[in-house]
Structure 1
Amino acid sequence: MKTMKIFKILSLIVALGFFFSACEDTNENLVATRGIAVVPTITSLTPESPLFTDLTEASFITFTASLAEGDMADAAEIQVVYEGKVGVVKAIESFPIDTKITAPEILSSLEITEADVKLGTSFFLYVITTSEGISSRSQAAVEIKMPCEFDSELSFGSYAAVSGDWGVDSNVKILTDENDPYTLYVSGLAEADACTGNGNTVTVYIDPVTFQLTGDTERTIVAADCGGWGAGYEDYTNYSYTVSSGFFNSCDGTYNIAFKLEYLPVGGTEYTSWGDNGFTFTRN
């Protein structure tokens, strides 16, 4: 873990170096590229984490597509990509545009039927612009998930816990609440991180409609200190986890979850945060 912390600091230094070097551009370069690559943006997405539980008119999303001030496009359209197939949902006549897209519109643009759509897959929507013969795509896609029906048997048990952000590759256990299958308790997070746990579990809530993950607003202290990381880290006390965000894959029981990790320095009164770190819990 000490190595991970040093790596994060070095990564930040390198990233800053790239940032400043990227900013070293001449006015000539800026003028040469301005107005050619017109990159659209998507905002005001509703719902924020789209999923279709059926493929009727009742399933739809709305969003705003716009261009940067001063940018103009010769043509624009909304495309959908699904399992290798590409379709044009609608053309865009002008920007900005507030648009609504329904599930039947997506199926029609792809020339597929409801029977062709598999649970556990996703539709991806993009805004495409063309300016002076150059096509540009919105940097972020709108992903619309097709979830499976919730099966509580897939939500608990022994899980492999992996985090590239935090350098963890271990195991945890997830327990289900006796009275609410959408309330889960994660144990073993401290041990997965080479610390001595205190027995506390981190509570995770699955939204029964969107399958988004939330947790308690209060941090959960999982270890008295981080002495297991090596000399000096015993001064990092009250090692804690707080759920920031996440999604439960109802088809295979996988949790993609971000935790805010914090500690309290010895003698201190304010917690220090390592920020949000992404974890994937996969059923063993």
Structure 2
Amino acid sequence: MLNHGDYNLLDGFQIPKIGFGTYKLNGYAGIRTIEQAINTGYRLIDGAYNYGNEGAVGQAVRNSSVPRDQLTVTSKLPGRFHQYQKAIEVVQESLLRSGLDYLDLYLIHWPNPKKDLYVEAWQALIDSQRFGLVRSIGVCNFLPEHIERLEKETGVLPVVNQIELHPFFNQKAQREYDASKGTLTQAWSPLGRASAVLTNDIVTTIAKKYHKSPAQVILRWEIQIGAIPIPKASHISRQKQNLDVFDFDLSNDDIAAINSLTKPDGRNSNQDPAVYEEF
């Protein structure tokens, strides 16, 4: 795999510019798909406790020929375990499930503000990092007010904020806020869950111009606006295609055209972190 450079995290570690999503990749078939992705060239593997596949992710990592220290393995803390002691135990359980000695990146999956335990959960991740269980810590779906509280009450900022981000919902304000804190933005659902965005006239026209697929254009756009996309693909041809986005640059006009597609209500499933809760 060509080295396309990494981003530097707040804590001094580095993270690849594109990752591989593992949602719904479970069991032996999941192991094969994730291992295939690693062998194809992905070095950032995004999992979660709630995906029920930490075992598959860990086995794929062990099966691959890539040295462990060249991989960034992510998992996430579910909402039902935000209470401090439970959170500590779940991080430990994630390690046991994965069979790995440490996890590279551990994120709070959702803030669940109505329960208001996310600061407690964050303190548990800070301590898990101090204990050597995880290398870097971050969050998912956190709004500026949530991150402000983390900083105010613990003094520690997340290195990553993973949010829904695609051409129909480009999250400009959130990205700018994250950047102001030195927090990198990751994009979940980077291709809009294969929605109409892949057949959008603006996207397909730009794709023809660069002799690339609509998916490649979208992933390239996300990289150029400073986000880290984590697409999922089961077939090796699509895995390779999604990774093949470092040999061209979109023009400023093309980026602006894709940016123009964003909508105020562009979320795929109305999962607004201000009110949405996931356990």
- Between structure 1 and structure 2, the one with the greater Rg is 1
Q: TM-score, normalised by structure 1?
A: 0.18
Q: TM-score, normalised by structure 2?
A: 0.18
- Which structure has more relative contact order (CA 8 Å, sep 6+)? It is 2
Greater fraction helix: 2
Greater fraction strand: 1
